[in-house]
Each structure stands twice: as structure tokens, then as C-alpha cells.
């Protein structure tokens, strides 16, 4: 039962929201074709069908049955359903760190800069006797 309901809902959605809904106009197509067959009588059904399709779908001029011709399927394509979607515009900026480069001269330790008397008074390595 659920499967049947699902199929019916899908069919209804497709036929009402796409150009598949043009198939609802098929009875008008058949009745108009029968009128042309009775009026023109060109010969076989295949010749009638080719003439009918070329006449109505291949650059049709206005004639006495213009209103009926405009009701045929795929003569006037109508937009019956348009899905609008909202896609937010996401913009982001990469933060740029503007670092200033400071160049400081580092002081290096050179033993020549200090007097050895000063260093000797602080610490004396052990001496061998």
C-alpha cells in the first residue's frame, strides 16, 4: 500500500512540476489529429501523421483552428515549477599579520672583553698538588 501511494505521489509531482505535464494535453492532440484526418484525407495514417506533425510543429502559421493548435502539447512551453534556492554568500578574509621585523644586535661573549683578574676572583678550578 505504501509503495502504491509513493508511486502515485511521485507521478503527481513529476507531472505537475516538469514539462511532463504536457502529456495531459494528449487527448487534445488525438482529437485534433482525428479532425485533420477526416478533413484532409491524404491517404494512410502514417502520411497523415507526418503531415500533421510537420504542419503543427514545423513553423505553423495562423489558420482557422489557431486556438485549438495552441492547446496542443509542446506548442507553448510553460514554466510550471521553479525551485529557488538560497545559497548564502560566504566570504572570509584571511587575517594578515603585519609583523615588523626588529633587528637587534645580540651581544656575544668574548673572553677578551673581560679581565682575567675579575674572573679569577669568582671561581678557581681545582689545582693539582
For residue 81, CA distances in Å to 18, 19, 26, 36, 84 come to 7, 9, 20, 33, 10
User: Is the distance from CB of 35 to CB of 48 less than 8 angstroms?
Assistant: no
pTM > 0.75: yes or no: no
11 pLDDT more than 70: yes
| Angle ∠(98,99,102) on CA atoms, nearest 5 | 150
Dump pLDDT digits (tens) for 32-91. Answer: 888 888 887 777 778 888 888 887 777 777 777 777 888 888 777 666 556 667 778 888
Amino acid at each position: 500500500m505504501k509503495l502504491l501511494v509513493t508511486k502515485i505521489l511521485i507521478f503527481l509531482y513529476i507531472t505537475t512540476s516538469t514539462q511532463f505535464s504536457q502529456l495531459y494535453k494528449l487527448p487534445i492532440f488525438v482529437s485534433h489529429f482525428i479532425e485533420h484526418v477526416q478533413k484532409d484525407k491524404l491517404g494512410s495514417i502514417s502520411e497523415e501523421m507526418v503531415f500533421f506533425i510537420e504542419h503543427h510543429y514545423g513553423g505553423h502559421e495562423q489558420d482557422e483552428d489557431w486556438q485549438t493548435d495552441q492547446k496542443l502539447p509542446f506548442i507553448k512551453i510553460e514554466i510550471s515549477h521553479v525551485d529557488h534556492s538560497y545559497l548564502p554568500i560566504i566570504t572570509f578574509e584571511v587575517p594578515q599579520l603585519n609583523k615588523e621585523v626588529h633587528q637587534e644586535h645580540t651581544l656575544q661573549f668574548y673572553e677578551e672583553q673581560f679581565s682575567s683578574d675579575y674572573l679569577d676572583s669568582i671561581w678557581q678550578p681545582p689545582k693539582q698538588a
